[in-house]
């Protein structure tokens, strides 16, 4: 057996990035953003898109939350769970690297 | 009638040539020789038209697609058009530097099949010596290029008990994804159905093992599970619905709604080149035949699941109910559902299997009687 592989868990200091094999791309035919990945294509909604666009490997999760709270005029504590939940889910789907 | 939406995915069977001879292969029994294959220019112009039409994902398959000497050029064309490109390979006999060249050309993902979790099984099912070690080497080279890797494990009676070992193998090889895919009885697999059909108890055990592993490996490795139709209650939405999201292209450029569609003898299929892809997708009688829900009979017509599974697989309806417009017999509401059970019993009964397979070879000319 090779080294044991472990599940990545989101933390405030994580700097999420899109996985190399996941590609966010504007589809001219359908006029929508698509996230392309092996076998699957996702059509993220506006909120998901805003989160994904901040996944650039430089922003920490806390910074992402601050930016999003500002964008949506929301309270940071109110959206924290939504954002971290989203990132954990997309990390588990191998679309986001934490 | 709903408007026809643009296709999302395309399965391109570039060639029927293959170094392996898998008894479960879903290719048609009547395989095409190399001289019937569409040339490079044909494939490139097909890919360009596919991208224009809205295709976002292309699976390059076969046969063994790496036997096409123009593969790097084809990948480069798809990458230039922003199409997500997946290579489906058996991983045997890929020459030095080829995987690196494909990655360089813009390939997005590789799916590598293993016939067994152990060398003896892989050799027996694929009828090829040394295949297993070569596949392991291919996996290593894929990971070295940084390309994401899916291991595909086609499951049937002769390797179902290796499911836990397939999971360990995929973890060891650094795969992000493992597909545990119970074989679908089309093409050569249909010819070998009695030899491939698993026992009921083994299927139940397999379901438990896979569900437990999916839970345990959440965030570590994705396991996609393609369950066996003959043991199902409801059918799968074959191809996401006939002529709805995706289509496939045979080595000679024939455009088909699914890979077994040619078994429906009442349909006529058109070749790319004789007509444009857009014309075929929108107007070909074969694509229109079972698109949407208007063609459905009872029990599908008044079923609340009709836009979930689209009535299931047309080819399975043809093969087992003798009518391509019938409900998929995998469905418990189908009057032919009992036949699925009877076929399991017949196949797993004592005297049905003599230890041999009809191995996949070019040159066998007739489809099996079912
Ligand atoms: S299933 Fe086996 S024989 Fe068929 S194309 Fe794949 S590797 Fe070749
Ligand atoms: S009756 Fe038809 S639509 Fe309903 S579940 Fe069965 S196959 Fe699907």
Whole-number pLDDT of residue A2: 46
Size of interface A-B (CB pairs under 8 A): 64
Inter-chain CB proximity A36 and B57 less than 8 Å: yes
Q: Other C-beta atoms within 10 Å of A92: how many?
A: 17
The whole-angstrom distance between B266's CA and the closest CA on chain A is: 31
Closest CA relative to residue B249, chosen from B302, B291, B204, B287: B287
**B231 compared with A44, residue with greater pLDDT:** A44
pTM: 0.92
Question: Ligand nearest B307 Cα, by number?
Answer: 2
CA-CA distance, B302 to B241, in Å (whole number)? 17
| C-alpha B158 to ligand 2 mean position (Å) | 31
Whole-number pLDDT of residue B354: 63
Inter-chain CB proximity B171 and A2 less than 8 Å: yes
**B350 compared with A62, residue with greater pLDDT:** A62
CB-CB contact of A40 with B177 (8 Å) = no
| C-alpha A62 to ligand 1 mean position (Å) | 49
CB-CB contact of B228 with B247 (8 Å) = no
B57 close contact with A: CB closer than 8 A: yes
Inter-chain CB proximity B218 and A92 less than 8 Å: yes
Give the tokens for residue A15.
């700097």
Q: Where are the extended beta strands (E) located within chain A? A: 17-18, 23-27, 32-37, 40-42, 96-97
A39 close contact with B: CB closer than 8 A: yes
Whole-number pLDDT of residue B184: 87
The whole-angstrom distance between B342's CA and the closest CA on chain A is: 34
Question: Ligand nearest B331 Cα, by number?
Answer: 2
Closest CA relative to residue A40, chosen from B227, B148, B80, B27: B148
Distance between start and end Cα atoms, chain B = 34
Dihedral, B48, B84, B16, B39 alpha carbons, nearest 10: 20
CA-CA distance, A10 to B70, in Å (whole number)? 43
Q: Which residues contact B167 (CB under 8 A, 6 or more apart)?
A: B178, B213, B217, B221, B223
Question: What b/e readout covers B149-175, taking b as 16+ CB neighbours within 10 angstroms?
Answer: bbbbbbbbbbbbbbbebbbebbbebbb
The whole-angstrom distance between A49's CA and the closest CA on chain B is: 18
Whole-number pLDDT of residue B243: 87
Q: How far, in whole angstroms, is CA B131 from its chain's centroid?
A: 20
Whole-number pLDDT of residue B318: 87
Strands laid side by side in the A23-27 sheet: A23-27, A32-37, A40-42
Closest CA relative to residue B221, chosen from B182, B166, B162, B184: B166
Residues in chain B with pLDDT values less than 50: 369-370
Whole-number pLDDT of residue B31: 85
- For the stretch A68-91, pLDDT in tens is 999 999 999 989 999 999 999 999
Q: Which residues does a 6 A CB cutoff place in the pocket of ligand 2?
A: B 234-235, 299-300, 303, 305-306, 309, 311-312, 327-328, 331, 333
Whole-number pLDDT of residue B293: 87
Whole-number pLDDT of residue B141: 96
Domains of chain A, earliest start first? 17-93 (1.10.10.1150)
Whole-number pLDDT of residue B351: 62
Q: What is the DSSP secondary structure assignment for residue B272, as one 8-state letter?
A: B
Inter-chain CB proximity B6 and A29 less than 8 Å: yes
Inter-chain CB proximity A1 and B172 less than 8 Å: yes
A6 close contact with B: CB closer than 8 A: yes
Whole-number pLDDT of residue A1: 43
Residue B360 in contact with ligand 1 by CB distance below 6 A: yes
- For the stretch B24-59, pLDDT in tens is 898 888 888 888 999 999 999 999 999 999 999 999
Whole-number pLDDT of residue B324: 87
B84 close contact with A: CB closer than 8 A: yes
Strands laid side by side in the B177-182 sheet: B222-226, B177-182, B149-155, B109-113, B84-89, B57-61, B9-13, B246-249, B254-256, B270-271
Closest CA relative to residue A1, chosen from B143, B130, B152, B167: B167
Q: ipTM score here?
A: 0.89
Whole-number pLDDT of residue B370: 43
């Amino acid at each position: 057996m090779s080294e044991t592989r472990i599940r990545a868990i989101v933390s405030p200091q994580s700097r999420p990035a899109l996985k190399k094999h996941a590609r966010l791309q504007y589809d001219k035919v359908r006029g929508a953003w698509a996230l392309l990945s092996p076998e699957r294509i996702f059509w993220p909604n506006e909120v998901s898109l805003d989160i994904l666009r901040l996944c650039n490997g430089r922003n920490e999760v806390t910074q992402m939350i601050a930016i999003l709270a500002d964008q949506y005029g929301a309270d940071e504590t109110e959206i924290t769970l939504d954002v971290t939940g989203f990132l954990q889910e997309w990390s588990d789907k191998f679309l986001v690297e934490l | 009638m709903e408007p026809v939406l643009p296709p999302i995915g395309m399965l391109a069977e570039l060639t029927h040539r293959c170094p392996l001879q898998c008894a479960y292969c879903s290719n048609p029994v009547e395989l095409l020789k190399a001289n019937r294959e569409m040339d490079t220019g044909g494939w490139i112009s097909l890919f360009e038209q596919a991208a224009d039409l809205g295709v976002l994902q292309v699976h390059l398959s076969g046969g063994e697609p790496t036997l096409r000497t123009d593969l790097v050029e084809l990948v480069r064309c798809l990458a230039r058009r922003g199409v997500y490109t997946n290579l489906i390979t058996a991983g045997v006999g890929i020459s030095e530097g080829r995987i690196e060249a494909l990655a360089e050309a813009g390939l997005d993902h590789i799916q590598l099949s293993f016939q067994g979790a152990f060398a003896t099984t892989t050799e027996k099912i694929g009828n090829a010596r040394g295949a297993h070690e070569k596949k392991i080497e291919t996996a290593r080279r894929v990971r070295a290029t940084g390309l994401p890797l899916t291991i595909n494990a086609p499951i049937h009676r002769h390797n179902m008990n290796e499911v836990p070992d397939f999971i360990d193998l995929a973890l060891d090889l650094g795969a992000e994804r493992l597909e545990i895919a119970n074989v679908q009885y089309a093409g050569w697999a249909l010819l070998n159905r009695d030899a491939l059909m698993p026992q009921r108890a083994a299927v139940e055990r397999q379901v438990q093992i896979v569900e437990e592993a999916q839970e345990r490996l959440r965030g570590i490795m994705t396991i996609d599970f393609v369950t066996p139709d003959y043991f199902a209650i409801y059918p799968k939405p074959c191809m996401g619905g006939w002529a709805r999201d995706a289509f496939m292209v045979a080595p000679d450029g024939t455009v088909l709604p699914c890979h077994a569609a040619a078994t429906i003898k009442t349909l006529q299929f058109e070749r790319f080149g004789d007509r444009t892809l857009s014309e075929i997708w929108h107007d070909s009688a074969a694509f229109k035949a079972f698109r949407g829900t208007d063609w459905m009979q009872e029990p599908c017509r008044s079923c609340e699941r009709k836009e979930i599974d689209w009535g299931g697989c047309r080819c399975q309806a043809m093969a087992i109910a003798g009518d391509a417009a019938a409900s998929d017999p995998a469905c418990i509401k189908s009057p032919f559902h009992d036949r699925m059970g009877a076929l399991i019993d017949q196949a797993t009964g004592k005297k049905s299997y003599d230890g041999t397979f009809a191995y996949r070879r070019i040159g066998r000319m007739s489809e099996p009687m079912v």
